[in-house]
Amino acid sequence: MPIAAPFFIDMLRILYSALCWVFSLVLVSAQDADSVQVPVSVSEAKGSLDSTYLAQIDSVMQAYELMKRQRQVEQVIRQHESRLLKKELSMSIDGALPLARGLLLTWTDHGFITHPAQFKSQGDKCNWTDYGVAGAPLVTAWLMKAAGVKSRSKLERMLTANAMALGISFGTSELLKNTVNETRPDLSNDQSFPSGHASFAFVAATVLHREYGYLSPWISVGGYTAATTTQLLRIRHNKHWMNDLYMGAGIGTVSTNLAYFLTDRIFGVGGVNKPEVRFKDVMRLMKFNAMPTGFSFVAGTEIGNRKVYFDDATLKTGAAIAVGADLSLHTSPYFSLEFMARAVDAQMKVYGQERLFTGDNLNLYHFDAGAKFSAPIFPGIRIGTRVFAGTRIMDGLTLTDNVKLYTIPNETKFECGVGVTYECLDTDNYAWGIIADYYHTFSHYMQNRYSISSTWKILF
């Protein structure tokens, strides 16, 4: 048996090879026979394959190719939607920048903040008006939810995250207020740091952005405009210093994002109305990389020359809050015309003899036009540089140490400057970015100014 088995297997292999050889001979013979048939005309040869049949074959092939492309597109869309969902469930660090600004200003402006001066008191009558502006985005979000407008969250997620955000924000603000004990500009109490109004305003704006920002960029911009307006009101009402406002903004934004992150650990994917990729999202990415013409809202800090000297005293400003808008009109994928407007509010004090000083707000306005070169370094990310020139208007201001008046006159002066820009296309219908600008004004007062600002850009 051990000898017969290999022999039998070898015989089967030989037989199989012989059959294959015979079959190949028969096939070649059949082809040769076809080749010696009587020739037919070209028209007859074409007629041997029916045109309708060929058309059907062609349509089937096209449908097959289309189906393959559709499957590829569907796969890309599903992958991107998975990334959007993952981002929705992840911890956002949006509030890190205002927190960093607040901490930096607390350090750099410490001497200015602690220097004695009496700003005009508005009393407490402004508090509830300021809260009304601050809470408008949160009220809007819940009115839209009540009206049945689809939000990013299901009801239980939105309710839990909002309550948690308000609790974290309020608790953090109150803890810092009672620990730092910073005196307000109007000397009304020592609860200045951080701004509770700003914290609440940015909780409200971030909730509106997270829930309904995907519907329209104007929703997100509207919410953050209300929050920035709250900051301006608090500084105009002499209730806070600049560092208070930025710390409040950072606390509010971080508290909201942390609350959503913790809520998602409770409800998971089940609490989210899953995001979907829309055609306009794809077109927006193409537009941003090619011709990102758009309108930007701007909010930031302006610093630089802060002192105005008199014979026996010095007028000095703290870091200033700057808000405004930019219009970028692209003439090509790389070049654009820039139109810029800024309003700047700087708190100012008198430094001099040891007397009772007063403080007030100095207002500056920039109106400039220029050109920018920018280019995409990755899909959805652009960097650029720009040059500009225009006019700076300064409102006059008079301060006193209760003995002598110190006056800064009204003026309108020519200015020029340069800047660098960073823009990133967000998944919620707009592009956000950072702008750093340098202004040189041909004036005797605060000639050199620097600004760093956050931007929210709506593409046309």
The mean pLDDT value for 39-49 works out to 48
pLDDT score at 86: 87
Listed range (18-32, 53-67, 81-95) with the worst mean pLDDT: 18-32
The mean pLDDT value for 98-123 works out to 91
Give me the numbers of helices (H) and strands (E) for the chain, helices first please.
11, 13
pLDDT score at 358: 83
Mean pLDDT for the chain overall:
87
Residue 55 has pLDDT above 60, yes or no: yes
**In this structure, what is the dihedral angle of CA atoms 439, 440, 441, 444, given to the nearest 10 degrees?**
120
* 333 three-class SS: coil
Contact 392, 442 (CB under 8 A): no
The mean pLDDT value for 186-191 works out to 92
Listed range (69-78, 174-183, 193-202, 401-410) with the worst mean pLDDT: 69-78
Q: Which residues contact 319 (CB under 8 A, 6 or more apart)?
A: 105, 108, 109, 242, 243, 301, 302, 303, 346
Contact 213, 149 (CB under 8 A): no
| Axis-axis angle for helices 196-212, 242-267 (nearest 10) | 40
pLDDT score at 248: 97
pLDDT score at 49: 60
The mean pLDDT value for 412-431 works out to 89
Residue 26 has pLDDT above 70, yes or no: no
pLDDT score at 288: 86
**In this structure, what is the dihedral angle of CA atoms 334, 299, 105, 446, given to the nearest 10 degrees?**
80
Which comes out higher in pLDDT, residue 295 or 70? 295
Predicted confidence band at 70 (pLDDT cuts at 50, 70, 90)? confident
Nearest to 301 by CA among 437, 432, 418, 451: 451
The mean pLDDT value for 369-385 works out to 94
Q: Distance (Å, rounded) from C-alpha 430 to C-alpha 66?
A: 32
Q: Distance (Å, rounded) from C-alpha 395 to C-alpha 413?
A: 12
Listed range (18-32, 156-170, 217-231, 261-275) with the worst mean pLDDT: 18-32
**E-strand stretches of 2-156:** 118-119
Domains of the chain: 90-276 (1.20.144), 281-460 (2.40.160.20)
**In this structure, what is the dihedral angle of CA atoms 212, 214, 217, 223, given to the nearest 10 degrees?**
20
Q: For 241-271, how does the pLDDT look when each residue is reduced to its tens digit (9 = 90+)?
A: 999 999 999 999 999 999 999 999 999 999 9
Residue 44 has pLDDT above 60, yes or no: no
- The DSSP annotation for 247-268 comes to HHHHHHHHHHHHHHHHHHHHHG
Residue 46 has pLDDT above 90, yes or no: no
